[in-house]
Amino acid sequence: MYAIVRHFQELVRSHYYRSIIYHSLLYTYAKWVYARGRVESPEHLLTALGINLPAAIASYAKWQPLLESMLSKVHASPGQQGGISLEDGRLLYGIVRALQPEYVIETGVAAGVSNAFLNAALLENDRGRLFSIELPPAECLGRLQQDGVVFAWPERGVGWAVPIEIRSAIGNRNELILGDVKEVLPALVQRLPRVDVFFHDDLHTPEHMKWEYDVVWPHLAPGGVLISDDANYGWLHFCRERGLPQFRVLNVQRLTAARKAQA
38-47, 135-144, 238-247, 254-263: the lowest-pLDDT one: 135-144
Q: What is the pLDDT of residue 72?
A: 97
> pLDDT above 90 covers what percent of the chain?
78
- Angstrom CA distances, 48 to 85, 104, 191, 211, stand at 20, 21, 31, 25
Average pLDDT over residues 77-82: 86
Q: What is the pLDDT of residue 138?
A: 84
Q: What is the pLDDT of residue 16?
A: 66
Cα–Cα distance for residue pair 166/190, rounded to 1 Å = 28
Cα–Cα distance for residue pair 84/191, rounded to 1 Å = 28
Give the chain as a 3 state SS string. Answer: CHHHHHHHHHHHHCHHHHHCHHHHHHHHHHHHHHHHHECCCHHHHHHHCCCCHHHHHCCHHHHHHHHHHHHHHHHHCCCECCCCCHHHHHHHHHHHHHHCCCEEEEECCCCCHHHHHHHHHHHHHCCCEEEEEECCHHHCCCCECCCCCEECHHHCCCCCCCCHHHHHHHHHHEEEEECCHHHHHHHHHHHCCCEEEEEECCCCCHHHHHHHHHHHHHHEEEEEEEEECCCCHHHHHHHHHHCCHHHCCCEECCEEEEECCCC
- Average pLDDT over all residues of the chain: 91
What CA dihedral angle connects 91, 95, 101 and 106, to 10 degrees? -30
> pLDDT above 70 covers what percent of the chain?
89
Q: What is the pLDDT of residue 25?
A: 86
The reported pTM is 0.93
Domain 2-259 -> CATH class? alpha beta
Q: What is the pLDDT of residue 52?
A: 97
> What tens digit of pLDDT does each residue of 28-55 get?
889 999 999 999 899 999 999 999 999 9
Q: What is the pLDDT of residue 83?
A: 85
- b/e burial code for range 42-55 (CB count within 10 A of at least 16 → b): bbebbeebebeeee
Q: What is the pLDDT of residue 127?
A: 98
Average pLDDT over residues 247-256: 95
Is the pLDDT at 2 greater than 50, yes or no? Answer: no
- Cβ–Cβ < 8 Å for 16, 148: yes
Nearest of 242, 174, 232, 241 to residue 35 by alpha carbon? 232
Q: In what order do the strands lie in the sheet with 220-228?
A: 174-178, 129-134, 103-107, 195-200, 220-228, 256-259
> What tens digit of pLDDT does each residue of 162-219 get?
999 999 999 999 999 999 999 999 999 999 999 999 999 999 899 999 999 999 999 9
Average pLDDT over residues 47-72: 97
> What tens digit of pLDDT does each residue of 139-165 get?
876 566 666 677 888 889 999 999 999
Q: What is the pLDDT of residue 139?
A: 82
User: Residue 102: exposed, middle, or buried by beta-carbon count in 10 A (0-12, 13-18, 19+)?
Assistant: middle
